[in-house]
Amino acid sequence: MIKKVLVANRGEIAVRVMRSCREMGILTVAVFSDADRKSMHVRYADEAYHIGPSPSVQSYLNIEKIIEVAKKSGADAIHPGYGFLSENERFAQRCQDEGIIFIGPSPYAISAMGDKITARKHMLKAGVPVVPGTEDKVTSDEEAIKIIQDIGVPVMIKASAGGGGKGMRLVRREDEIIPALRAARSEAATAFGDDAVYIEKYIDSPHHIEFQILADRHGHTIHLFERECSVQRRHQKVIEETPSPAITSEKQRRKMGEAAVRLMKAAGYINAGTVEFIMDPVGNFYFIEVNKRIQVEHPITEMVTGIDIVEEQLRIAYGEPMRYRQKDVKPKGWAMECRINAENPDRGFMPAPGRITFYYPPSAKDVRVDSHIYTGYEVPPDYDSLIAKLIVKGEDRQECIRRMRQALSEFIVEGIPTTTDFCQEVLGHVAFVRGTYNTSFVEDILGY
């Protein structure tokens, strides 16, 4: 089995990965920037190494420095977490070249599924429905105008590389095409170093539903059922739940799960990944993208299935056959996750870094908190504003909502603004309680 894992990440996901490693008797190595010298993941690891200044391009995105630390510390594997280098083909290849186990998919799979245009072609080949749109990168303004006129507005312009809502622009009128195209290209170039974009027909009022996949090197690919991710703000997920209240029949659930598995098998995908779909108001579903890593929202799947996804990642990466088959996965209950961000909702969700003067997380049956903060911790301005994930489980959806609202009321962070009250507002709205919300809920219904 793997003996020592370097976690090439920070914050709550670094702590989360290290926790599973500890339970498996695996030693851990942390890396940290100037801003993270006092971060919890540095304290939690067996060893910790400084890798550079606060800007991520000089630290957490510095491939050669991370490889250097892995070799120096004797780590035989690297877990990339999510974000940063988790979907970087070159990083996965460097690990492979150095004889270090990359706990994720192969460089080929990252490349094939990382470019959304290439991924769309894989979907079509696998018989997975995709949203009508371009099959190649858009190369000029004139081409974009013609394509959009042929498809018809509204359309979504999307970055071919990356994810997380970056490089996406909605076009509802033809006079918005050129400004939206240029804005999407500029943002994509800044975020991913690639300004390539493509165009899809915009599906109005959809649900965003994803299926968690596990696949090993022995021909076994399974799904761990779905997560509903439609509570979003500017294409960033805010609250997730499982199962999805929008999937009202087991036939539909089975059809989507089988499509996700079929796709990953066709791509030769290994390790953990997520297939994302949008579903229109009448139940038609279409492929969006593959996330080639563990997801922020993976804990809700763990809560209802009892499967430690990080542990399975480690075992699969080492070459072991998966311990589960599809028939073994039987979700029980309902789970939700609220992302607690250091942001000020009253000021347009502006990031709110600063010192936490008091922190007290809730503790109760079926309540889980994944976090890296503590009283006295200084939230840096350099990275994502996520400071904690609050996860709860209930016997059914109603109990889950009640338990989440209680846990939110007991979640205390003083010194900086957070999104806890915003999450309470979402959970208290009649559309959320009824499960009738969709991806436009936060903007159109709550008015944020």
Cβ(419)–Cβ(373) below 8 Å:
no
Burial-class residue 320 by CB neighbours within 10 Å (0-12, 13-18, 19+): middle
- Count CB neighbours of 378 within 10 A: 17
- What are the phi and psi torsion angles at 174 (to 5°)? -65, -30
E strands present in 37-181:
47-52, 77-79, 101-102, 155-159, 168-171
Cβ(340)–Cβ(413) below 8 Å:
yes
Token pair 């059809």 is found at 255
> How far apart are alpha carbons 446 and 238 in whole angstroms?
13
Q: Which two tokens stand for residue 366?
A: 């079926």
**105 HSE (CA, 13 A, CB side):** 30
Q: Which two tokens stand for residue 58?
A: 């000089």
77: nearest Cα among 109, 41, 47, 104: 104
> How far apart are alpha carbons 4 and 17 in whole angstroms?
12
3-state class (DSSP) for residue 7: strand
How, if at all, do strands 197-201 and 358-360 pair? unpaired
Query: Which is catalytic among the residues 16, 227, 233, 293?
Result: 293
Note if 293 is an active site residue: yes
162: left (phi over 0), alpha (psi -120 to 50) or beta: left
E strands present in 92-246:
101-102, 155-159, 168-171, 197-201, 207-215, 221-233, 236-242
Torsion angle (degrees, nearest 10) of CA 313, 318, 319, 321: -50
The catalytic residue positions are 293
